[in-house]
Amino acid sequence: MEQKKVGIWIRVSTEDQAKGESPEHHEKRARYYAESKGWSVKEVYHLEAVSGKSVMEHPETQRMLSHIKSGHISGIIFSKLARLARNTRELLDFADIFRECDADLISLQESIDTSTPAGRLFYTMIAAMAQWEREEIASRVAASVPIRAKLGKSLGGASPFGYQWIDKKLVPDPKEAPVRKRIYELFLEHQRKKRVARILNESGYRTRKGARFADSTIERLLRDPIAKGMRRMNYTKSLGTGKRWTMKPESEWVFTDVEPVVSEELWNQCNHVLDEQDKKKGNRPARPAVHLFTGYLFCHCGSKMYVPFNRGKYTCYKCTAKIGATEIETIFHEQLKSFFFSEEEIVKYLSDADRLIKEKEELLEARTKDARKLKEDMDNLVQLYLAGEMPKEGFGNHYRPLEERLTQIQEELPTLQGEIDFMKIQSISSNEIISEAKDLYSRWNTLETSQKRRIIETITENIIIGKDEVTINLCYLPSASEMASVRQRNLRDSSHRPA
């Protein structure tokens, strides 16, 4: 009978080597087994310090598989399944390839023989356990991340731009911190990310890696709250090797205090500008308008109207319709008379808003109390279980419903708080607009062009220039109930929007 030719597979992690499990030890063990079986060892495949998460594409793996397919060897010996691979899919792929080539997988610790149906079944079960073990390790590592974050410890990676690690603490970098502060100052002045990047690049500034600043880099640095002294951690997660990173729920974010490089007021001002740009232009701020009604004036044919160079009239380039700049400003000025609510409508609007805010706050307080009570009930159940006064099965039957209700309430609380924040801000903004605009009509001609433009941007939807008439569509203050319903609808839409 021809002697069976086998190979030896050695994959020992760095941690295992530290425990004394050397590659030589695993090779000797396999050789002893082969000798006892009367087999001939033809090859040894070394994958020391290689992760078992994915080994299929490793050069040694490909060499081993080519030997199996060519018949150079008809089996491979390894100390245990986790040494071959920890990924269940790859383990099963190995089994399929070996079965097709009539070759054997020999695991010394599990005593597995994949040539029999019973062996294949047992192999599948053990493979699933290896995958479970890897996921358990990953789970323990992931669970340690928020704990380390709350303690302010490093989670790996380089320090953010403008900071450096000194004695395991993040402190402002004397070279980079002034540049980061300059970014905020420039953006508040120009309100355009590309312009800030261009100014920095033309001034000779570069990123830490020596690259030129891009608008995406500027936005990332502006958005990061670490600049105002709030280091944000545990807020992203990877979807897998080579895949994109996504944001975790805000409830999992961890913040620690660091020394700021800009004031909180400056950070908030810049981020408010970014938020407004996101709403209006989808992250693309418009170029500064030269004329009062640029971007808001439309011809009846649907085209926008512009003022050609050195001309005093807005012109439609499609159908050549025209209207004088002074004429349209006079018409707009007169339209302001009918824009604002009567005193009675203003009082009713603000009263309704206050009532809705109060109702929402009462609901938030009630739900917060419900959550607190559920936590107390859950803690009491745990104490009873630990004291031996409640059986394990009974504990689970009572604990799980409470846990489910608590999770539902905790998911609802941020939404309620968000609605209250929105309604308060909207109410304050509306009140300010009304109070400031009461004498707008009388002061219009004394305003500077930039002030007039801001007013137009705030209250104008669009202006349609017809053949014989001008239609001015102004924004209006929604009713308090409309304001609340819009906010709720937006929250629901965003919660169902795919990442």
Give me the average pLDDT of each 10-residue run along the chain (499 residues): 86 59 77 84 84 78 93 89 74 78 81 62 57 58 52 61 84 89 90 91 85 90 87 59 59 73 89 85 52 88 81 83 88 72 57 76 85 90 88 87 85 72 58 56 78 76 87 61 42 40
351: its two tokens: 């009263």
What integer pLDDT is reported at residue 88 of this predicted model?
66
CA dihedral 423, 492, 271, 201 (to 10 degrees): -160
CATH class, domain 5-148, is alpha beta
Strands 112-113, 230-233: pairing is unpaired
What integer pLDDT is reported at residue 486 of this predicted model?
41
What integer pLDDT is reported at residue 73 of this predicted model?
94
CA 165 to chain centre: 25
Per-domain residue ranges of the chain: 5-148, 163-281, 341-437+469-496
List strands edge to edge, sheet with 460-465. Answer: 297-299, 460-465, 470-474
In this structure, which topology does domain 163-281 adopt according to CATH?
Answer: Hect, E3 ligase catalytic domain fold (3.90.1750)
> If we measure between CA atoms, which residue out of 432, 476, 475, 429 comes closest to residue 272?
429
CA distances to 28, 220, 334, 336, 421 from 327, in Å: 97, 44, 11, 15, 42
What integer pLDDT is reported at residue 201 of this predicted model?
87
What integer pLDDT is reported at residue 170 of this predicted model?
81
CB-CB contact of 103 with 113 (8 Å) = no
Instruction: State the DSSP string of 423-475.
Output: HHHHHHHHHHHHHHHTTHHHHGGGS-HHHHHHHHHHHEEEEEE-SS-EEEEE-
What pTM does this model have?
0.33
Q: Which residues pair with 171 in a beta bridge?
A: 164
What integer pLDDT is reported at residue 423 of this predicted model?
65
In three-state secondary structure terms, 413 is helix
Question: Using N-to-C axis directions, what is the helix angle for 392-437 and 480-496, rounded to 10°?
Answer: 130
Distance CA 183, CA 200 (A): 8
Instruction: Please provide residue 273's backbone torsions phi and psi, each rounded to the nearest 5 degrees.
Output: -60, -45
